[in-house]
Structure 1
Amino acid sequence: MSHSQPISINSKDLESPSPFVHSASEAEAKPRKWTYYLWDTLDKPKEERWFLFKLDAALLTFASLGYFIKYLDQSNITSAFVSGMKEDLGLYKNQLNYMQTFWTVGYVIGELPSNIILTRFRPSRWIPTMEVIWAVLTFSLSRAKSARVIYILRFFIGLAESTFYPGMQYIIGSWYRREELAKRSCIFHTSAAIATMFSGYLMAAVYHLDGRGGFAGWQWLFVIDGIISLPIALAGFFFLPDVPEISKPFYLTEEEVAFAVRRMELEGRQKRQPYTKRKIRNIFTSWHIYALMLLYIFFNNGTGSATPVFAQFLKASKKPEYTVEQINTYSTTTYAVQVFSTLVYAWTSDSVFGGARWPPIVFGGVMNIVCYVSLAIWDIPMQWKWACFILSGTGYGLSGLCMAWAHEICTHDNEERAIVIASMNEMAYVLQAWLPLIVWQQVDAPEYQKGYITVSCLSFALIVTALSIRTLHAREI
């Protein structure tokens, strides 16, 4: 079937007897069945259900696997650091902080230009190409012999990875409607936690390869990460769709693509338009970009995820003294809590709260304050200290909700939506580029009192910002 021209729906299409044309509007009017609260597609007409099944199977699976390898390749540096790299390369000062910072600088530089590129070119070519590049660079980390080489490689890995998260959030927001969006965004986001957990398990496993083939155990981690990443990157050339109005994936028919365009019209989600001076002025004089940037800055920097605080605590413990395998395994419990809480947030936001994004965000902020104020005190019962390290994962899983909220607030301008999504992530990492150097200094491990106090304050600011956005958005609706 030919897909040589972009597909759109005109007034004649709306008079067509095709089941695809009417199913979306019919779904608006009918009452919800109980199955909707389990998974939204179970309450949709058969044709729309089949369309969403194919879209989820391709887009959501690729997005989750791609984010899995992104976070696997992003977080492996901390797993390697606590598993022999520190000693082998003599990294006894703040080199780990600098490795994180060089990655962050590359990530920040690339995000906004990449999302602007996505509004002009085909995402199905741009994003997989960048994935291949960072997979190759991950292989290269296994041969690094000094901190300086790692700094350079980490910068370019961050630059290549900058295309993925804001880009995929933009694409997800171009295909899904409001009652579908938070679940998909959050499922996508949970793959980051799973990757971080997997990196710990993988390091515990490959540590036994220490010495094989002339590689240390931590070097084997980078080799295996690269082996995992490359096939997923190549799959993106086949399975990643573009935005609906220019999309031509092999697994959707022309009628289904036209239906996707119609669904976005019903949602008020605008198609791609040229950049004009008026458009740029409207974007940067609206409260949208500034309030949503603050929301994401406070979320992204309002947790202890900037440094491996739990792993460092376990590594510093002398009674009992934990093995490398135990350090890498026990510290993953925080991310298990993140996975669970992220999915709970998604389902309750889409269903129980009727699409409201602020209640789970406020809850996550409150949990952060409880956990990090306790850790800032530090001299607390050991059981509660462990509980705080683990339960702090409830604040890690708010990204998908923040992004879903941004899609809805910016739904009437495609280019604003792309720029706002990228700016949220970019500015969050601008702060993350230097804040850990001040409040998460490696020499303060494992207590990190400055860090815990800082994220407690940022979590309070997150709550205030979420409630403010709720008020501002309500005035526009």
Structure 2
Amino acid sequence: MAKQGEGVGIQVVPPTKTWKRHIWDTLDKDPKERRFLLKLDLLLLTFGCLGFFTKFLNQTNLTNAFVSGMREDLNMVNNELNYAMTAFTVGFILGEIPSNILLTRVRPSIYIPALQVVWTSLTLCAAGVTNTTGLYVLRFLIAGVAEAGYYPGLQYMIGSWYRKDEIAKRACILNASGSAAMLFSGFLMAAVTNLGGRGGLPGWKWLFIMDGVISMPIALASFYFLPDMPETTGTRFFTADEIELAKTRMVLEGRKLRAPFTVAKVKKVLTSWHIWLLSLYYIFISGTSGTPIFPQFLKYHVNPKFTVQQINLYPSGLFAIQIVSALVYAWISDTVLNGRRWPILFFGATVNVITFASLAGWDIPEGWKWACYYLAGQHVGLSGIAFTWANEICSGDTEERAIVLATMNTMVNVVASWLPLIVWQQVEAPRYRKGFITATSMGAVCLIIIPLIKILQDKETAK
């Protein structure tokens, strides 16, 4: 029997669940809904992933450039890499929450591609830096003015279009595109090494130029292809019936439309456990985010001594682990676990504890040490599941959802702005004893927070 959303005249036919949903969630749905979701995936998911790919390509290129000649050319012999990463992080902190709030009021089809154009232009400028001060300023502007709003903004959009059995896969595919960028960046750096000296520029500067060349066409195309929200999108790609279908789907999912920001709403958001516990979990599961521990291990490895190309290429396996874990976690969560998120997050936290505890011990077999470096990448695969869970927990208030998603990412960057300067210091590479002990402890805290969130969510659901 067909269901119908309140106040909306388009019916949504409940799918007959078959084995096909384990392959892709649209295969057992009504043909009209399937066509709509195909269009949505081609627009929002494709161009969202392409944009996120270029964002992470830009974000990763600093580490690749550092181990490929920038360190020597800019005399980065102390903790300058940490300072450049901190400048980037501080930009994120200042930009994320205002950006996501603005996204609830501005058309995403204009706002998000504009962010892409800005960070691409600034990345091209990075090819001209001659000192660390210029590098710090550019990294701050790239993050604070442009990149800060992209990831939480895309997760907010995914939560505004997709239903419970669809959202985790899309959120994790988005994450996987970022890992694919990091995978590609190593190969790109190895390739542009051959351009070193062309036009009087070293290879690491050519890396920034190639990033810009790849990113700008995607940014410009996004102005045309990226949709807005269901209640504001036009009929360029969707029919009027499909737009009504999109609205009905969100009504059935319990996702509220936009409402005015009021003092009472802000107070409600700030006094809810949602924003505090979800942000706290995301901080502790991201203990090594942005820290180039594996490339540093390779750079300082003595027997054998690795070349620049090997230092850029060997971490590619880490990014492959990130991609695979993101996809596997999403499919298991959506299908095998029937939409439950906490078991996957609990499992991932357990893996974190094991891998970082092993690296903290350090005097372990060389093969297991390499395995731990690679397995540490699985925590990135948890990010999409964490944001999916947050989208679902906050589905009853779209402004809260936007603020919570941005706050989760912001608080990670708040911690990342000072924690690496204490426990992940460049001068302590590759041993990082304090860092690995800290990451182990953070994983252990997650094993307490995850069940607590589940208990509180169940209480809300029972009401």
Q: TM (normalized to structure 1)?
A: 0.94
Name 1:35's counterpart in structure 2: 20
* Cα shift at 1:209: 0.8
Counterparts of 1:279 and 1:394, CA distance in 2: 36
Counterparts of 1:473 and 1:334, CA distance in 2: 33
Name 1:456's counterpart in structure 2: 440
Instruction: Report SS of the residue matched to 2:319.
Output: helix
The answer on whether the counterparts of 2:14 and 2:29 sit within 8 Å (CA) in structure 1 is no
Q: Which amino acid aligns with 1:429?
A: N
Name 1:422's counterpart in structure 2: 406
Task: State the identity %.
Answer: 51
Instruction: Report SS of the residue matched to 2:168.
Output: helix
Name 2:79's counterpart in structure 1: 94
Counterparts of 2:289 and 2:418, CA distance in 1: 14
Matched, 1:250 2:236: yes
Structure 1, residues 384-441: CA drift from partner, whole Å, max 9, x if none?
1111111111222111111110111011101110111111111111001110111100
Report the CA distance shift for 1:157/1:10 in structure 2 as closer, same or farther (over 3 A).
same
Q: Which amino acid aligns with 2:20?
A: T
Name 2:415's counterpart in structure 1: 431
Matched, 1:73 2:58: yes
Matched, 1:26 2:5: no
The answer on whether the counterparts of 2:90 and 2:417 sit within 8 Å (CA) in structure 1 is yes
Name 1:131's counterpart in structure 2: 116
Gaps of 5+ in 1: 1-7, 15-20
Q: Which amino acid aligns with 2:165?
A: E
Instruction: Report SS of the residue matched to 1:150.
Output: helix
Counterparts of 2:107 and 2:264, CA distance in 1: 25
Name 1:371's counterpart in structure 2: 355
Name 1:122's counterpart in structure 2: 107
Gaps of 5+ in 2: none
The answer on whether the counterparts of 1:241 and 1:249 sit within 8 Å (CA) in structure 2 is no
The answer on whether the counterparts of 2:282 and 2:409 sit within 8 Å (CA) in structure 1 is yes
1:466 to 450, 459, 463: 450
Structure 1, residues 168-213: CA drift from partner, whole Å, max 9, x if none?
1111100000000000000001111111111111001101111011
The size of the alignment, in residue pairs, is: 457
Name 2:388's counterpart in structure 1: 404
Residue pairs, 1:211-290, within 5 angstroms: 211-248=197-234, 250-290=236-276
Counterparts of 1:286 and 1:89, CA distance in 2: 47
Name 1:209's counterpart in structure 2: 195
Counterparts of 1:408 and 1:308, CA distance in 2: 32
The answer on whether the counterparts of 1:439 and 1:451 sit within 8 Å (CA) in structure 2 is yes
Name 1:197's counterpart in structure 2: 183
* Cα shift at 1:9: 7.7
Counterparts of 2:289 and 2:367, CA distance in 1: 21
Counterparts of 2:262 and 2:380, CA distance in 1: 37
The answer on whether the counterparts of 1:239 and 1:249 sit within 8 Å (CA) in structure 2 is no
When the two chains are superposed, the root-mean-square deviation of aligned CA atoms in Å is 1.2
Which segment drifts farther, 140-149 or 242-251? Answer: 242-251
* Cα shift at 1:249: 5.2
Counterparts of 2:362 and 2:293, CA distance in 1: 13
Moved >3 Å (runs of 4+)? 8-11
Name 2:138's counterpart in structure 1: 153
The answer on whether the counterparts of 1:9 and 1:258 sit within 8 Å (CA) in structure 2 is no
